[in-house]
Chains A and B, each alone.
Chain A
Amino acid sequence: MAAKKSQQFDAVETLNAIEEKFEMVQILNEEGEIVNKEADPKLSDEELTELMNRMVYTRILDQRSISLNRQGRLGFYAPTAGQEASQLASHFALSKEDFILPGYRDVPQLIWHGWPLHQAFLFSRGHFMGNQMPEGLNILPPQIIIGAQIVQAAGVALGMQKRKKEAVAVTYTGDGGSSQGDFYEGLNFAGAFRAPAIFIVQNNQYAISTPRELQTSAKTIAQKAVAAGIPGVLVDGMDPLAVYAVTREARERAVKGDGPTLIETLCYRYGPHTMAGDDPTRYRTSDIDSEWEKKDPLVRFRKYLEAKGIWDEAKENEVIDKAKEEIKAAIKKADGAPKQKVSDLLELMYEEVPFNVQEQLDIYKAKESK
């Protein structure tokens, strides 16, 4: 609800005027029709198909991950279904040189950036080899502390600017993350340095159980950019074309030297917060679920591609089979990782093992050799 206009000062009017400006960008509606022709990013048929491939693949990965978790074959897992457009269409606008600083739900973007799937599974299982990043892969492991990655993104972006790289730092968080002090500090630092960063807030409506309305009095999260003096965009996070278009534009601005952008993607997670006991029926009704399911990114993109004649059931089944096969192989590979030892972990503490750690290392090595 808009605040009431004050008698003498225009502060309330200014606020209301700003809030009204943040309208949701949509290009592809729920029926798979282009509703904003001018903004259409005009992806080639190959690109459109590839983006659909990734979204279908990732939906299968989510289903398999949930089931593997239930079988006790995966550890920590935060479901991604519903957020495919928000995650993968934003990632689709990036290049390999771009550096991703993810939140814990952002495993799909990391995989499509080049994180080997079996390593993502090892990460889920709490094995350090999951996070051993291959040379040249520009990602951090999923961040657990909400917002910590946002201030780091400002640093990566500033480093890229100093190195004169044509690349951006991209960080993801959720609606809850936008309440952290680090969120504002990250935006403000990147803005002050005009550093090439993109801050993506995937507003999936709930921070575990806390609804979006309780996070902030602001009408949108996108408008928080205004305070940092940087552009902010509100986008339909269930619309792959819109998410792609605004991210691409933000990236172009950043590499040109015009500074960072905040993007709020309005989306929804169909599943629980994580597989560690969260029960969404405690805070969401099935009515809300089905309302959002109507907006599903795969459904509308499928309709759009089918109408263009570049997608059909056979193609979809091909992707599904490929995903299932690769997931099976990756799990097998993860199963083959050596058992994690305390001595491995002690050796990872410092470049050179200090005296205190060395003593403990000797003890654990002796224990482990028995």
Chain B
Amino acid sequence: MAQLTMIQAITDALKTEMKNDENVLVFGEDVGNNGGVFRATEGLQKEFGEDRVFDTPLAESGIGGLAIGLALQGYRPVPEIQFFGFVFEVMDSISGQMARMRFRSGGSLTSPVTIRSPFGGGVHTPEMHADSLEGLMAAQPGLKVVIPSTPYDAKGLLISSIRDNDPVIFLEHMKLYRSFRQEVPEEEYTIPLGKADVKREGKDLTIIAYGAMVQESIKAAEQLEKENYSVEVVDLRTIQPLDIETIIASVEKTGRAMVVQEAQKQAGIAASVVAEITDRAILSLEAPVLRVTAPDSIFPFSQAEEVWLPNAKDILETAKKVLTF
């Protein structure tokens, strides 16, 4: 088994599915010869040819429309939106069109598109590059939204996303691309969409997180371990649809929960998770369910990023409030 970074695992998943299914097409801005600005599509054009891996003109809405049209011709498009901050340019193709293709055609047409896109802060990008906009996507019925937190998960989840017959938004946190390596099997494997993963078991508190915040939560949990608290970390992996079963089972076990997201607090995924917990497990709770999020400002200019982004220390502080309530 190879030790891969998340970006390598993503390339591996793309390669695997391009080999498995000749209908899989990879396209976007600079994904061909250049292999993508993060090199996620490195070597793919050379291996699979310009017919299946190609650069498009620079226009996100065009890329979205292209994906819908190619899907109507039986292809399984995997377009890249170069940075997820550019998603506003393609919102109609995503939310207005592909999310409702199955619905508005009474099930006679589908949009089996997987949109891959880097997102998330902490790497000092220019503005409009790093925003956590997953909430926008999760609010749109008809889409699935997947966010891996490890190289192993990234490969299995991306393969599942490409094989899924509904549109999937696959968001890759930029800080995780090369932050650590993990053993990733060379053979193909899938991880079901809509299933959370208990990344760390514990008895006293459940921390629910996704994306880069999973690693921060694990760091906080390790610190708390030293203080004799046993903390469970649940990685959502798919934020739409949520894996309610895993969340509730964990909360019922620990009796205390908190939710961590890198996105701003307002109208977020964390709020949805809190609501699901209070709807379904309020009698199991020993304490209020608190949230750790970024503040409700626009994503900051890069000098303020470190302070603005939630981190293990913030998680630790909030965890103590929940644990000692």
Chain A residues at the B interface, C-beta cutoff of 8 Å:
99, 101, 128-134, 140-141, 145, 148, 150-160, 162-163, 169, 181-182, 185-186, 188-189, 192, 345, 348-351, 354-357
Q: Which residues of A contact B243 (CB under 8 A)?
A: 355
Q: Assess the B106–A128 pair: CB atoms within 8 A.
A: yes
Q: State the main secondary structure of chain A at its contact with B.
A: helix
Q: Which residues of B contact A169 (CB under 8 A)?
A: 69
Q: Assess the A355–B67 pair: CB atoms within 8 A.
A: no
Q: Assess the B92–A189 pair: CB atoms within 8 A.
A: no
Nearest first, the 3 closest Cβ-Cβ pairs linking A and B are A155-B69, A151-B65, A159-B73
Q: Assess the B241–A356 pair: CB atoms within 8 A.
A: yes
Number of chain B residues close to chain A: CB under 8 A: 43
Q: Which residues of B contact A133 (CB under 8 A)?
A: 105, 108-109
Within 8 Å by CB of A148, from B51, B72, B93, lies B93
Q: What are 9 A-B pairs at a CB distance below 8 A?
A: A130-B106, A154-B66, A159-B72, A159-B73, A159-B75, A189-B59, A192-B57, A355-B241, A355-B244
- Scoring B residues 50 to 84 as 1 if CB is less than 8 Å from chain A, else 0, what string do you get? 01000011010110111111111111000000000
Chain B residues at the A interface, C-beta cutoff of 8 Å:
51, 56-57, 59, 61-62, 64-75, 92-93, 96-97, 102-110, 141-142, 144, 164-166, 194, 241-245
Within 8 Å by CB of B62, from A140, A188, A349, lies A188
Closest to B98 in A: A152
Q: Which residues of A contact B109 (CB under 8 A)?
A: 133, 140
Q: Assess the A152–B105 pair: CB atoms within 8 A.
A: no
A288 to B323, CA, bound (A): 76
Closest to B167 in A: A350
Q: Assess the A128–B64 pair: CB atoms within 8 A.
A: no
Q: Assess the A145–B96 pair: CB atoms within 8 A.
A: yes
Q: Which residues of A contact B56 (CB under 8 A)?
A: 189, 192
Q: Decide yes or no: A356 and B69 within 8 Å by CB, A132-B106, A349-B141 being known contacts.
A: no
Kindly name the residue among B51, B104, B109, B110 whose own CB sees the greatest number of chain A CB atoms within 10 A. Answer: B104
Q: Assess the B61–A348 pair: CB atoms within 8 A.
A: no
Closest to B72 in A: A156
Q: Assess the A148–B96 pair: CB atoms within 8 A.
A: yes
Q: Assess the B57–A188 pair: CB atoms within 8 A.
A: yes
A268 to B250, CA, bound (A): 64
Min Cβ gap A354→B in Å is 4
Q: Assess the A188–B59 pair: CB atoms within 8 A.
A: yes
Q: Decide yes or no: A355 and B57 within 8 Å by CB, A151-B66, A159-B75 being known contacts.
A: no
Within 8 Å by CB of B70, from A131, A145, A159, lies A159
Q: Which residues of A contact B69 (CB under 8 A)?
A: 101, 151-159, 169
Q: Decide yes or no: A354 and B106 within 8 Å by CB, A151-B66, A185-B61, A185-B65 being known contacts.
A: no
Closest to A228 in B: B57
Q: Decide yes or no: A131 and B65 within 8 Å by CB, A192-B57, A355-B244 being known contacts.
A: no
